[in-house]
Amino acid sequence: MATGKPEHTCVVGLAWGDEGKGKIVDLLGERFDVVVRYNGGANAGHTIIVGNEKYAVHLLPTGLLRPNIAGVIGPGVVVDPVELLEEIDALANRGIDVAARLRISDRAHVVMPYHKIMDSLSEAAESGKRKIGTTARGIGPCYSDKMLRSTAVRMADLTELQRHRDRIKEIVALRKRAFAAMYGDDGNLSFDAVWESLQKAAKQLLPMISDTSSWLRHQIDEGKSLFFEGANGMLLDVDHGTYPYVTSSNTGPQGVAAGAGVPEGLVKRFVGVTKSYTTRVGSGPFPSELSDAIGDSIRDKGHEYGTTTGRPRRCGWLDAVAIRASVRLGGVSELAVTHLDTLSGFNHVGICVGYELDGNVQTESLPAGASAIERVKPVIEMLPGWTGELGQAKCIDDLPANAIAFVRRLEELVGAPVTIIGVGAEREQTITCNRLN
């Protein structure tokens, strides 16, 4: 690699999403040449605050907010073309032109209008704990079509859309019949509306669609530094998360090679992001959840409402068991801890250090079954809290002693060093220590 360039790096969330990955990607991304999104879709939501400006992105790689970085949406992403164009236009209206710097994989799959209808209808048909808690962005149904193959639409199809008109018309008719039969509601699905939307999107996105895997290989050959941006959190991984309350893609380091279209082993540095507490949106087990005034206080202080959905997040003490499992599974080399300032003012702060299940305590991983996780009793270790405003801290020694002790205890429990600490919402309110460069 060229002298002075950072090694290829990936940032992943270690819990159920919303860990603050967007801020960490924005912070680290300035030294890289290319930022790559490799999984998920518009169900992800990253918020970045720069000065008095707040930016929220869902499909676009967060690193594109830096003006000199090229962005790639990889083949492992499912792309809603309408939402993507809305994001591009919204940033352009604020003086940030990303269209000229963005490449979209021709192998990425397209989220169609009927995917979103199916998401809503199927979730509405479920009841109680059977609800997955979907964002209704069509992500799961699109990935289902990807595996079914015969009903899938890819970005490559948009480059020669007229050739696929009859096939798409057949798929729309099939979905209308299926929705009516399964849910008693065809979702007002109209081929004419679907076709008009696709034609408009194809015309605007065509210059951005290409073989991004080949392009990335050329960037690697030229010594460019690549930055891989995970969406969702590792506990939402379809294979390794709290199934079935998960997303539909591989969210951790395991998904990078396939989802970005790069060689296995290319990335050597993996930064795992966790809040100083744990949150979850939607349904699913959550061992360290605080369904009390403390949980409400954390939600209010941390402004814990979904970037994508606006839903209030469930809050609980930091789950070091789950974080450790994610670190070990993903080969995570270092930690970024966000929202340390949110815990300022509590007399005591907790860390989940074990799970008690059927009389046994284990500290290595979550059980595979959701019903087993729901029976888990968390073993909580309480540490002394701290007070004061942390936002002006520039190094770890500027933090209160008890806050430092909290960070060091997390390192011990998880087995990885903390190299980044978020002490406020803005880009500049970040402490870097140990190994950042």
* Alpha carbon distances (Å) from 394 to 177, 309, 399, 422: 60, 33, 9, 10
Residue 319's CB is within 10 A of a number of other CB atoms, namely 30
Task: Choose among 208, 253, 228, 247: nearest CA to 14.
Answer: 253
Spatial neighbors of 129 by CB under 8 A, at least 6 apart, are: 283
Which one of 8, 33, 46, 341 is the catalytic residue? 46
Which one of 18, 33, 145, 319 is the catalytic residue? 18
46 is catalytic: yes
Residue linked to tokens 């080969």: 331
Say which DSSP state 154 is in. B
Residue linked to tokens 């999107």: 201
18 is catalytic: yes
Task: Choose among 354, 143, 155: nearest CA to 236.
Answer: 143
Q: What size, in residues, is the chain?
A: 437
Contact of 336 with 410, CB cutoff 8 Å: no
For residues 87 and 91, give the distance between their C-alpha atoms in angstroms, rounded to a whole number.
6
Q: Which element (helix H / strand E) includes 36?
A: strand 34-37
Six-digit token pair at 38? Answer: 């490799």
SS3 percent helix, strand, coil of the chain, rounded to 5, is 40, 25, 40
Q: Which amino acid appears at position 297 of this protein? A: S
Catalytic machinery residues: 18, 46
